[in-house]
Amino acid sequence: MHEKTIVMYRLKNEERWIKHSIESIYDFCDEIVIFDDNSTDNTKKICSQFDKVVDIYSNTESLFDEARDRNFLLNLALKRKPDILLSLDGDEIFLPDSGKIIREEIDILYPESNVFEFQLLTLWDNSNKIRIDGAFSSFWQKRMFRLKDQPLELKINDSPYPGNLHCGSIPTNTVGIEHPVRSNAKIFHCASLDESLRTKKYDWYLSKDPNNPLTDNYQHMLGAKGRFSGSTLKFKKIPNVLSYDLN
């Protein structure tokens, strides 16, 4: 039996990546719902060109609250009666043929599993080079879950960070969240692709969450600094057949 799969995006000014991101999961999903956080570029215009994008909500709140916005997006997606929900950000792109891998995992290999997590590969300076030192060597996040046997009231809890940063992408009370399947499908994370992006991301996090010892002030975002980084930067080249032209 086919399980209806909906992808939910929380976006802000992702015109550089969003077309690639949607295309990377298009053959796998049935519908896409979007929470747009006041984008001022062409993000919404690009999204609206895809037939599977069935809902684009434009946020009007000025106060930043990640948990509030993710819960709103979650409820937006739940109204579409999905069997499976996948959460993505606009700067994330699945590697080629990931849709086939995921479909095999949910249909054949793990038909009873509730939660799936994916490894994020951080692109650095080139679209076929990933960073692999420190925390970047094994960065996994829970992003997909089945609705079967889940609580009626699903919720992403508040986090201990300002603005509920790092609250997670799927509901905190999801059944199976403590025992996820590690998917063989992997995700390129594009937010560190070039130095200007890294600096912009670093400055944004410091503006929202300054002087936080839990994050070591996000030093790892810029280079080999802080406890989440290796002592030196380390990289791995991705074969061209598995990469995209993103520069």
Share of the chain above pLDDT 70, in %: 100
Taking phi over 0 as left and psi of -120 to 50 as alpha, with beta for the rest, 208 belongs to alpha
Q: With the C-alpha atoms ordered 148, 150, 155, 159, is the resulting torsion angle positive or negative? A: negative
Residue 152 neighbours by CB distance under 10 Å: 4
pTM of model > 0.75: yes
Alpha-carbon distance 29 to 7, whole Å?
Answer: 7
For the chain, the structural domain boundaries read 5-161+180-242
Q: Does domain 5-161+180-242 have CATH number 3.40.50?
A: no
Cα-Cα-Cα-Cα dihedral sign, residues 146, 91, 187, 173: negative
Looking at residue 60, its pLDDT comes to 87
Q: Coil, strand, or helix at residue 75?
A: helix
H or E stretch covering 23: helix 18-25
Specify the pLDDT at position 61: 86
pLDDT at position 53 is 98
- Residues in the chain, pLDDT under 50: none
| pLDDT at residue 1, as a whole number | 79
Q: What is the DSSP letter of 123?
A: B
Nearest to 146 by CA among 186, 170, 113: 113
Share the mean pLDDT of the chain.
97
> pLDDT tens digit string along 106-161?
999 999 999 999 999 999 999 999 999 999 999 999 999 999 999 999 999 999 99
CB distance 102 to 185 below 8 Å: yes
